[in-house]
């Protein structure tokens, strides 16, 4: 990753964290579907990023959100799990020829079908860990599962909308 891409991804992570903290902290549909838009920053990191920096970035982003949400490491733990699982999931859903080194795992580059099959299970894993830790012993299995499913769908829909509005498609040189 060159310096320009590093700065771009760093600014994207910071911007998404700020949007999450300022605007989306109290956003919940019917008290069950929560939005974790800052996860878009983890999902859009370059495909060839190493495991350790990915997990550290995920942990740092989750910890930054934890500080402002007054949650005791729940975002950090859930985001770290997502950062850990991401390379394995990308490998599991890789196309036949593999990924291009310059390909970014976002909607404009890969298409809607691939993006949903990539992001929905990752965000569901995050949500499942998050709500299990958040409601440990009080929410019940179906309450946790209900919040996880609805929050995952809500987050993926908003991530798709954000990418359609603000992300540019890479121009192909012919």
pLDDT tens per residue, range 11-26: 999 999 999 999 988 8
CA 4 to CA 120: how far, in whole Å? Answer: 29
CA 106 to CA 8: how far, in whole Å? Answer: 14
pTM for the full predicted model? 0.90
CA 51 to CA 28: how far, in whole Å? Answer: 32
pLDDT of 173 over the 60 cut: no
**pLDDT for res 174:** 44
Q: Which residues contact 105 (CB under 8 A, 6 or more apart)?
A: 43, 44, 45, 47, 90, 115, 118
pLDDT tens per residue, range 52-80: 999 999 999 999 999 999 888 999 999 99
Mean pLDDT of the chain: 89
Domain locations along the chain = 3-166
pLDDT tens per residue, range 100-136: 777 788 898 888 999 999 999 999 999 999 999 998 7
Tokens of 160: 């798709």
The C-alpha angle 75, 76, 77, rounded to 5 degrees, equals: 95
């Amino acid at each position: 990753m060159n310096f320009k891409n590093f700065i771009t991804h760093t600014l994207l992570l910071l911007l998404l964290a700020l949007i999450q903290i300022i605007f989306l902290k109290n956003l919940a549909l019917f008290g069950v579907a929560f939005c974790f838009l800052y996860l878009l920053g983890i999902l859009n990191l370059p495909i060839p990023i190493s495991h350790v920096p990915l997990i550290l970035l995920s942990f740092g982003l989750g910890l930054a959100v934890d500080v402002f949400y007054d949650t005791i490491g729940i975002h950090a733990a859930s985001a770290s799990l997502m950062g850990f699982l991401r390379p394995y999931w990308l490998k599991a859903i890789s196309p036949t020829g593999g990924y291009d080194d310059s390909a970014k795992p976002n909607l404009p580059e890969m298409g809607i079908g691939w993006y949903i099959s990539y992001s929905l299970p990752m965000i569901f894993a995050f949500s499942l860990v998050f709500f299990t830790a958040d409601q440990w012993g009080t929410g019940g299995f179906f309450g946790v599962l209900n919040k996880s499913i609805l929050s995952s769908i809500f987050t993926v829909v908003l991530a798709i909308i954000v990418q359609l509005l603000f992300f540019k498609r890479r121009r192909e040189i012919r």
